[in-house]
């Protein structure tokens, strides 16, 4: 008996800038979006904890090739630190491990912020995806092990206190790749002698996307199923699916590469590039040398590559 092949999805490409709700994991979110779009492939650009909400960029199709560029982009978080308790997970999910009756004054907290601005060393939480001897730290922590996670260099461009109360303070931070906001809350609590943990966390921005790009699960479901018989819960319909409305909510793949020099090429050059061939680039503003650049034709993404001696050499090509 012949084996049935695995059903392939649509070759749809672009970014879904999801406003992830509290309680949904990042992997669950990717699966949901992949199903709604019936996409061939999908992936996210930076995990967001289930207890956190906000911007989770999800790449579909060809956009998955641009994930590293979004992962490297700056991120902005709004978060609340509850003073007086340190928890095993550094957020509300874990049990209390240390406590204090002391509460910090606003002036004390503000005076501490410069210590956490710039390039600093940070130790990730015990419950994190960091690999220790080939195993995830959170798996070891769930088994009751305390592991020695080495500190690593991170960059915090901005850390501001938005609001201060007796039992909690609200902050906004702009930070680079690899920063754990939970560690930030833990370390500030220790420095202030009162302990602390994350009580609320929302990712406001992931460069190059903006809050205007955000779309909710409900909005995606409405775009996908509005006007169709059946339900969003099952996806069952009595006629072929219409993806035009939901596809209109995608952010173009090329937006993720705004950080790279943009090189416009002709249709003939684009064809050669997509076959893996280098091409001479022309134009007064064309770079002579560039470690990475982005080639486009008629506004459509063609390839990522390097420019050497006035020649564009493709490294990763995109289908037309």
In this predicted model, what pLDDT tens digit does every residue of 66-100 receive, in sequence order?
999 999 999 999 999 999 999 999 999 999 999 99
Contact criterion met (CB below 8 Å) for 212 and 195: no
Average pLDDT, the chain: 90
- Beta-carbon-side half-sphere exposure of residue 57 (alpha carbons within 13 Å): 32
* CB neighbour class for 191 (10 Å; exposed up to 12, middle 13-18, buried from 19): middle
CA angle 253, 258, 261 (to 5 degrees): 120
Higher per-residue confidence, 255 vs 144: 255
Rg (CA), the chain: 23
- pLDDT value of residue 59: 97
- The residues pairing with 294 across neighbouring beta strands, listed in sequence order, are 262, 304
User: What is the residue whose two structure tokens read 């590559």?
Assistant: 305
Confidence class of residue 286 from pLDDT cuts 50, 70 and 90?
confident
Q: Give the rounded percent of residues in the chain with a pLDDT score beyond 70.
A: 88
Q: Which residues are catalytic?
A: 49
Residue 237 scores a pLDDT above 60: no
Measured from the Cβ of residue 315, the count of other Cβ atoms closer than 10 Å reads 11
Higher per-residue confidence, 266 vs 284: 266
Closest CA to 247 of 70, 10, 7, 46: 10
Q: Which long-range contacts (CB under 8 A, 24 or more apart) does 267-273 make?
A: 267/297, 267/298, 269/295, 269/297, 270/295, 270/297, 270/302, 270/320, 273/302, 273/303, 273/305, 273/312, 273/314, 273/317
Q: What is the pLDDT of residues 6-65, one digit of tens each?
A: 668 899 999 999 999 999 999 999 999 999 999 999 999 988 989 999 999 999 999 999
Residue 233 scores a pLDDT above 70: no
- pLDDT value of residue 289: 86
CA angle 156, 158, 160 (to 5 degrees): 125
Confidence class of residue 226 from pLDDT cuts 50, 70 and 90?
confident
For residue 304, what are its two tokens?
């990522």
For residue 214, what are its two tokens?
């955000």
Measured from the Cβ of residue 135, the count of other Cβ atoms closer than 10 Å reads 13
- pLDDT value of residue 306: 95
Cα gap 300→262, rounded to integer Å:
11
Query: Which are the contacts of 306, defined by CB distance < 8 A and separation ≥ 6?
Result: 290, 291, 292, 293, 312, 313, 315
Contact criterion met (CB below 8 Å) for 159 and 47: no
- pLDDT value of residue 126: 77
The arithmetic mean of pLDDT across residues 204-223, rounded, is 96
Residue 154 scores a pLDDT above 90: yes
- pLDDT value of residue 252: 94
Residue 312 scores a pLDDT above 90: yes
For residue 292, what are its two tokens?
């990475």
- pLDDT value of residue 305: 96
């Amino acid at each position: 008996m012949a084996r049935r092949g695995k059903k392939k999805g649509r070759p749809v490409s672009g970014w879904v800038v999801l406003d992830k709700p509290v309680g949904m994991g990042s992997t669950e979110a990717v699966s949901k979006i992949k199903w709604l779009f019936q996409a061939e492939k999908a992936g996210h650009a930076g995990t967001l904890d289930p207890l956190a909400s906000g911007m989770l960029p999800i790449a579909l199709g060809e956009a998955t090739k641009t994930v590293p560029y979004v992962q490297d982009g700056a991120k902005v978080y709004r978060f609340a630190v509850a003073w007086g308790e340190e928890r095993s997970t550094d957020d509300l999910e874990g049990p209390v491990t240390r406590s204090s009756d002391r509460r910090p004054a606003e002036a004390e907290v503000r005076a501490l912020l410069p210590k956490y601005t710039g390039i600093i060393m940070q130790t990730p939480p015990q419950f994190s995806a960091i690999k220790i001897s080939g195993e995830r730290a959170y798996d070891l922590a769930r088994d009751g092990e305390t592991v020695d996670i080495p500190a690593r260099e991170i960059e915090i461009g901005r850390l501001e206190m938005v609001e201060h109360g007796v039992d909690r303070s609200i902050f906004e931070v702009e930070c680079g790749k690899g920063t754990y906001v939970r560690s930030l809350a833990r370390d500030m609590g220790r420095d202030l002698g009162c302990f602390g943990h994350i009580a609320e966390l929302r990712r406001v921005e992931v460069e190059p996307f903006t809050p205007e790009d955000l779309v909710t699960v409900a909005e995606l479901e409405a775009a996908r199923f509005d006007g169709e018989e059946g339900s969003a819960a099952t996806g069952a319909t009595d006629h072929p699916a219409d993806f035009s409305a939901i596809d209109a909510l995608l952010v173009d793949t090329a937006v993720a590469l705004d950080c790279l020099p943009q090189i416009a090429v002709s249709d003939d050059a684009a064809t050669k590039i997509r076959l893996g061939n280098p091409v001479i680039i022309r134009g007064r503003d064309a770079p002579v040398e560039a470690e990475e650049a982005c080639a486009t034709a008629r506004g459509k993404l063609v390839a990522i590559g390097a420019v050497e001696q006035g020649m564009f050499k493709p490294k990763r090509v995109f289908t037309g």
